[in-house]
Amino acid sequence: MRGNPEGRTRMRSFVTRGGTTKWNDRIGCRLKLYDLHIFLTVAEMGSMGKAAERLTISQPSVSKAIADLEHMIGVRLLNRTARGVQLTPAGRAMFRRGLGAFDELRQGIKDIEFLVDPTAGEVRVGCPEAIASGLLLASLAPFSCKHPRVTVSVFAADDLAHEFRLLRERTIDFLLGEIPTPLAEEDLEAEVLYDERPFIVAGVKNRWAGRRRIELAELVDELWLLPRESIFQMFVAEGFQSKGLALPKLGVRSYSVHQRFNLLATNRFIGAEAGSLLRFNVDRFPLKVLPVDFAVRSFAVGIIQLKSQETSPIVQTFIDCLRDVAKPIRLP
């Protein structure tokens, strides 16, 4: 822009009182969705060559589409470097809004498909494994029985605060998991489904399972199973700290819920697991919550969505199913 006075003049023309006319006459009639699609692919891949490979077109065709788009808008969208391309401030704005435009078009097609066939569609949800193995697992069976032609795609999102990009890039329809307090992002909205907290647990034949009362300090030197590097582990650590204790060092740190539950069932380990995860798996694993005074604060679990993203009918139906399954564990 600094060395392109003509571009600055062209850009200013779109924000004058005749801006709407300029849009209709110059951009509305000349902007090609295909060129915008190429730009979004280049921005995502960080390279015109890689974008050409993904789109199965020639690199000169990619370069021409980007040049045409920049000429029409009047600003540079990409900086070309030896290592690829980088978005300019204008390019970042176009990328963000372009993703939104394509998502709206995609959603429009889905809405039309739903009107033609209300029994089909897709739901895309991001969540941590503990939710995928608990609330989500308990919701999939009844939902799929009623809507067998709907595809539910589950995306890993172990730390929701770091996965907001999945929403903003329209990769998923919503996030399901711990809701950060406060939710500072102005473009997002949250709905609490229930409050969650950790419980100390062991196999039903573990030597501690028969005790009527257990002090947390008695368990410190046991073999422990704990989630690895997660927000949940932070809450567990706070529970130990409240008793003046350090988090146990012996045992296994694992990201896998299935692995932890199977190891707990050997009756050799002590673990700390979310209450909802235990509730939804109580019939599958021989586990028992131990009578330990474990003072920990609770945290909210729920749904996070983009305010600007309209919820499709089939996604709304799936959210309603989640609400129904979560009702028994929601505090009054």
pLDDT at 15 over 70: no
The residue-averaged pLDDT of 5-15 equals: 45
The residue-averaged pLDDT of 280-285 equals: 90
E strand intervals along 179-286: 188-196, 198-203, 224-227, 251-254, 270-274
Q: Give residue 292's identity as a one-letter amino acid code.
A: V
pLDDT reported for residue 114: 67
Same domain, 64 and 30: yes
Q: Which of 208-222, 229-243, 317-331 is the least confident region?
A: 229-243
Instruction: Specify if 111 maps to a domain.
Output: no
pLDDT reported for residue 188: 94
Instruction: Specify if 106 maps to a domain.
Output: no
Q: How far are the Cα atoms of 14, 18, 28 from residue 25, in angstroms, in the given order?
A: 11, 11, 6
Residue ranges making up the domain that contains 19? 5-101
pLDDT reported for residue 170: 85
User: Where a domain ends, among 66, 101, 136?
Assistant: 101
Same domain, 266 and 321: no
**CA dihedral over 307, 310, 315, 316, signed as positive or negative:** positive
Length reported for the chain = 332
CA 222 to chain centre: 35
User: Are 136 and 174 contacting, i.e. CB atoms less than 8 angstroms apart?
Assistant: no
Instruction: Specify if 112 maps to a domain.
Output: no
Instruction: Specify if 64 maps to a domain.
Output: yes
Question: Mean pLDDT of all residues in the chain?
Answer: 85
pLDDT band at 321 (very low <50, low <70, confident <90, very high): very high
Same domain, 286 and 138: no
pLDDT at 228 over 60: yes
Q: Supply φ then ψ for residue 206, to 5 degrees.
A: -65, 150
Instruction: Specify if 110 maps to a domain.
Output: no
Radius of gyration (Cα) for the chain, nearest Å?
26
pLDDT at 116 over 80: no
pLDDT reported for residue 28: 60
Same domain, 182 and 58: no
Same domain, 186 and 203: no
Instruction: Specify if 107 maps to a domain.
Output: no
What is the maximum span of the chain, computed from C-alpha positions, in angstroms? 81
Instruction: Specify if 108 maps to a domain.
Output: no
Q: What is the per-residue pLDDT across 160-174, written as a single tens digit (0 to 9) for each?
A: 777 898 898 888 999
For the domain that residue 223 is a member of, what is the CATH number?
3.40.190.290
CA–CA distance, 264 with 287 (Å, rounded to integer): 7
Same domain, 167 and 316: yes
Instruction: Record the tokens describing residue 19, joined without a space.
Output: 């801006």
User: Where a domain ends, among 40, 74, 101?
Assistant: 101
- The neighbour count for residue 164, using CB atoms within 10 Å, is 19
- pTM of model > 0.85: no
Q: DSSP string spanning 49-102? A: HHHHHHHTS-HHHHHHHHHHHHHHHTS--EEEETTEEEE-HHHHHHHHHHHHHH
pLDDT reported for residue 11: 46
Same domain, 33 and 153: no
pLDDT reported for residue 127: 93
Instruction: Specify if 161 maps to a domain.
Output: yes
- The number of distinct structural domains making up the chain is 3
Q: What is the per-residue pLDDT across 37-64, written as a single tens digit (0 to 9) for each?
A: 899 999 989 889 898 999 999 999 999 9
pLDDT reported for residue 331: 60
For the domain that residue 168 is a member of, what is the CATH number?
3.40.190.10
Same domain, 31 and 94: yes
For the domain that residue 22 is a member of, what is the CATH number?
1.10.10.10
- The neighbour count for residue 271, using CB atoms within 10 Å, is 27
Q: What is the per-residue pLDDT across 172-225, written as a single tens digit (0 to 9) for each?
A: 999 999 998 888 889 999 999 999 989 999 999 999 999 999 999 999 999 999
> Minimal CA–CA distance to 185: which of 97, 307, 311?
307
Same domain, 20 and 168: no
Q: What is the per-residue pLDDT across 138-148, written as a single tens digit (0 to 9) for each?
A: 999 999 999 99
Q: Give residue 78's identity as a one-letter amino acid code.
A: L
CA–CA distance, 322 with 304 (Å, rounded to integer): 13
Same domain, 305 and 188: yes
Same domain, 215 and 78: no
CA–CA distance, 261 with 23 (Å, rounded to integer): 59
Same domain, 87 and 144: no
First vs last C-alpha separation in the chain:
58
Q: Which of 99-103, 169-173, 198-202, 264-268 is the least confident region?
A: 99-103
The residue that leads in pLDDT, 296 or 192, is 192
pLDDT at 88 over 50: yes
User: Are 147 and 317 contacting, i.e. CB atoms less than 8 angstroms apart?
Assistant: yes
- Using the structure block, give the residue that is written with the tokens 């770091």: 162
The H or E element spanning position 6 is helix 5-13
